[in-house]
Structure 1
Amino acid sequence: MTVNSTIFWNNKGGTGKTSLAFQAITTFAHLNQSKRILVIDVCPQANLSELLLGGLEGNGSDNLLKVQGRTPRATVGGYFQSRLPSPYSFGSIPVGDYLVVPSQYNSLIPGNIVLLAGDPLLELQANSMSTLANNQIPGTDTWVKIVSWLKDFISETKSAYDYIFTDANPSFSIYTQVAMAAANRVVLPVMADDSSRRAIQNAFSLIYGLKLPSEIYAQHMFATRMDQGRLPLPKAHLVVKNRITQYMGSASGYRAILDSIDRDIDSIIRENPDLITFGSLDEGVLEIRDFQTTGVVAFARGTPFFALKPGKRSVGGRRVAIDGNQIRDRNIEIVKLAMLLK
């Protein structure tokens, strides 16, 4: 049976991707406590890892440094470092050495989550990985070998996990391609601005080669190289319109952009149904309101919404009050998202 491996990604920053991923993944784990979940943070900033390990107020940064300081380095960068000496063969790497259990650092995180943490080393490793991917070796598709590094990791551990979730940064650099190649579903968070509309178009161009500006790019595009290497492309699973509170209301100019995003997605449903897992806008598009103060407190403290209690909390040395109704409303929305990840 194929393990569902879902990546949260958009090539535009500022869409709230990591905050959505944190709340959705932890809620999914909370709702499915019998399921074993692997979280992979393929981002140099490692924000998702820091949230899982405690957030600002829960020593998440210090805990992340401890994880990065282990021997071997218990991060995605540590695993990639182990691949560099023999990049085109997996060998016998003890993948479990690179994993941590966030609940051992942050008691609010469900115990069925295991983490391959993010690492700033990714930026330093990217040049070496790209060079290795473009080497010319007769009989070896070097690009496929490099972008399969996380697929190798998952293959080695797939019997241990029921679901895999990955957070990747907005770039489409080599390490993002490695993450994309290891996924079979993509969640695309967007906002109600025109740059987000273009970001959806760009995402489908980068992943699937749709509407390329010139055919000269076709031979180098991700989809072509995946096809040549007989690797399956992930399918778009959800488009999440995030932080839409300020865009609500029929008179809002932003509603026109939200509607245009729907038209673009509807066009993909009709013209490229093989690239998506859903058959209608109702199935594949979800709206999430802005998390507001509830989100600020939750992320500062590395707290899933289901574990957040009303009252005053310390955030950055200040006392911030959160309302029980806000917590309930935010949790209801995130539960809807989490249920669509099954």
Structure 2
Amino acid sequence: MILNNKYAFWNNKGGTGKTSLAFQSVTRYAEKHPKERILVVDVCPQANLSELLLGGLNNNGSDKLLARQGLVPRCSIGGYFQLRLPSPYVPPSFVAADFVTTPSTFNVAVPTNIDLVCGDPLLELQANAVNTLANNQIPGSNPWIAVVDWINDFLAQIDGDYDTVFLDCNPSFSLYTQIALAASNRIVLPVMADDSSRRAIQNAFSLVYGLKLPSEIYSAYAFATKLNAAGRALPKVHLIVKNRITQYMGAASAYAAVLKSIEDDVQKLLKSNPEIFTFSKLPNGFVEIRDFQTTGVVAFAKGLPFSRVQVGKQTISSHRVQVKGEYLDNARQAIEDLVDLL
């Protein structure tokens, strides 16, 4: 079986709520598709998604993650990359299960049909070596493609074991982010209602698809150029998430113009470059998510999908907070709307 659904959550701008959206989307997707086997690959050095899946702040998710990273071999994406450094261009013999964790054994709130390749700060230390390997000049071969295929090589070994893959990417366009994007076929792109998000989404289209590069000089080195030259398909933008819209009044008028300008930019690209999207009509490619507020704080502190969050007063890091039913319902519906588009 070939994995047809491989979603990358990515934006090259930080602070867009990418990881929190990924956590709630993945867990809800798993709840709605209990017969599917789902793999999460955390390709972010911060590894926040891994910490959430393993229990969150209150349930020692960080300590559990450190324990996984302390195994031999290191049970994380960094451990797999460490294996690849001496054999960058030809996959070595390895057992994929050595790098896979089942979060539900550590956090009972997570659906049992989710497996995880944990994130790892080791990625940052490996970045220079990975870049060097990818940029080597070897006659008759393509080192860049060989390195960019590292996650594809991993998924090839477990093809047939999983139905859907979710990749959480670093807010950058570093080589390990490119490795993650090359392994995906659909991108979920969160944006905020501010002008920097508009610039970020324009940058994202430039970085991934080589659109509106400042000079032809950069074209030969572009991600899209190098993938296309190797006969490889680019991932397509599947969903743009307008995230953290104000809880009380929807898209507030102060931000409405920015959100409208983002939609206008995408509408133009739908006409000029329809091949980079999975959708052909603007409403099918956008979803609006209101700010999760206290509901989100509780969910992420405890590593809970919204379906497992309770209404009422609760203790978070020695602080008493209250989850209101209306806000919890809003949060659940927002994620439901997003997952329905996956």
TM-score class normalised by the smaller sequence: over 0.9
Match of 1:33 in 2: 34
In the alignment, the residues of structure 1 paired with residue 100 and residue 55 of structure 2 have an alpha-carbon distance, to the nearest angstrom, of 16
Match of 1:195 in 2: 196
- Cα shift at 1:3: 2.5
- Cα shift at 1:158: 1.8
The SS at the match of 2:290 is: coil
Indicate conservation of the 8 Å contact 1:240/1:288, yes or no.
yes
Encode CA deviations 1:149-172: one digit per residue, 9 max, x unaligned: 000111111210000000011110
- Cα shift at 1:329: 1.5
Matching of residue 254 in structure 1 with residue 255 in structure 2: yes
Deviates more, 1:206-215 or 1:249-258: 249-258
Indicate conservation of the 8 Å contact 1:42/1:179, yes or no.
yes
The SS at the match of 2:68 is: helix
Alignment of 1:118-137 (within 5 A): 118-137=119-138
Give the letter aligned to residue 337 of structure 2: K
Are the structure 2 counterparts of residues 76 and 250 from structure 1 closer, same or farther at C-alpha, using a change threshold of 3 Å?
Answer: closer
The SS at the match of 1:41 is: strand
Match of 2:181 in 1: 180
Which runs of at least 4 in structure 1 moved beyond 3 Å after TM superposition?
A: 246-251
Alignment of 1:43-192 (within 5 A): 43-192=44-193
When the two chains are superposed, the root-mean-square deviation of aligned CA atoms in Å is 1.2
In the alignment, the residues of structure 1 paired with residue 228 and residue 94 of structure 2 have an alpha-carbon distance, to the nearest angstrom, of 27
Are the structure 2 counterparts of residues 250 and 56 from structure 1 closer, same or farther at C-alpha, using a change threshold of 3 Å?
Answer: closer
The SS at the match of 1:158 is: coil
Encode CA deviations 1:215-242: one digit per residue, 9 max, x unaligned: 1100000000111122211000000000
Indicate conservation of the 8 Å contact 1:248/1:255, yes or no.
no
| TM-score, normalised relative to structure 1 | 0.98
Match of 1:229 in 2: 230
The SS at the match of 2:112 is: coil
- Cα shift at 1:91: 2.5
Alignment of 1:212-291 (within 5 A): 212-245=213-246, 248=249, 252-291=253-292
The SS at the match of 1:111 is: coil
The SS at the match of 1:159 is: coil
Give the letter aligned to residue 122 of structure 2: L
- Cα shift at 1:251: 6.9
In the alignment, the residues of structure 2 paired with residue 288 and residue 41 of structure 1 have an alpha-carbon distance, to the nearest angstrom, of 22
| TM-score, normalised relative to structure 2 | 0.98
Give the letter aligned to residue 169 of structure 2: A
- Cα shift at 1:245: 1.1
- Cα shift at 1:325: 2.1
The SS at the match of 2:111 is: coil
The SS at the match of 2:244 is: coil
Encode CA deviations 1:236-255: one digit per residue, 9 max, x unaligned: 00000000116946872211
Deviates more, 1:245-254 or 1:10-19: 245-254
Are the structure 2 counterparts of residues 333 and 251 from structure 1 closer, same or farther at C-alpha, using a change threshold of 3 Å?
Answer: closer
Task: Among all aligned residue pairs of Structure 1 and Structure 2, give the percentage whose two residues are the same amino acid.
Answer: 58
Encode CA deviations 1:234-278: one digit per residue, 9 max, x unaligned: 000000000011694687221111111110111111111100000
Are the structure 2 counterparts of residues 271 and 248 from structure 1 closer, same or farther at C-alpha, using a change threshold of 3 Å?
Answer: farther
Are the structure 2 counterparts of residues 52 and 230 from structure 1 closer, same or farther at C-alpha, using a change threshold of 3 Å?
Answer: same
In the alignment, the residues of structure 1 paired with residue 284 and residue 184 of structure 2 have an alpha-carbon distance, to the nearest angstrom, of 20
Are the structure 2 counterparts of residues 329 and 246 from structure 1 closer, same or farther at C-alpha, using a change threshold of 3 Å?
Answer: closer
Matching of residue 22 in structure 1 with residue 50 in structure 2: no
User: How many pairs does the alignment contain?
Assistant: 341
Match of 1:340 in 2: 341
Give the letter aligned to residue 280 of structure 1: K
Encode CA deviations 1:259-304: one digit per residue, 9 max, x unaligned: 1111011111111110000011110011100000000110011000
The SS at the match of 1:243 is: strand
> Can you give the 5+ residue segments of structure 2 that lack an aligned partner in the other structure?
none
In the alignment, the residues of structure 1 paired with residue 210 and residue 61 of structure 2 have an alpha-carbon distance, to the nearest angstrom, of 38
In the alignment, the residues of structure 2 paired with residue 296 and residue 247 of structure 1 have an alpha-carbon distance, to the nearest angstrom, of 17
Are the structure 2 counterparts of residues 188 and 249 from structure 1 closer, same or farther at C-alpha, using a change threshold of 3 Å?
Answer: closer
Give the letter aligned to residue 291 of structure 2: D
Give the letter aligned to residue 216 of structure 2: E
Indicate conservation of the 8 Å contact 1:249/1:255, yes or no.
no
Give the letter aligned to residue 113 of structure 1: I
Deviates more, 1:248-257 or 1:166-175: 248-257
> Can you give the 5+ residue segments of structure 1 that lack an aligned partner in the other structure?
none
Encode CA deviations 1:127-178: one digit per residue, 9 max, x unaligned: 0000000111111100000000000111111210000000011110010000
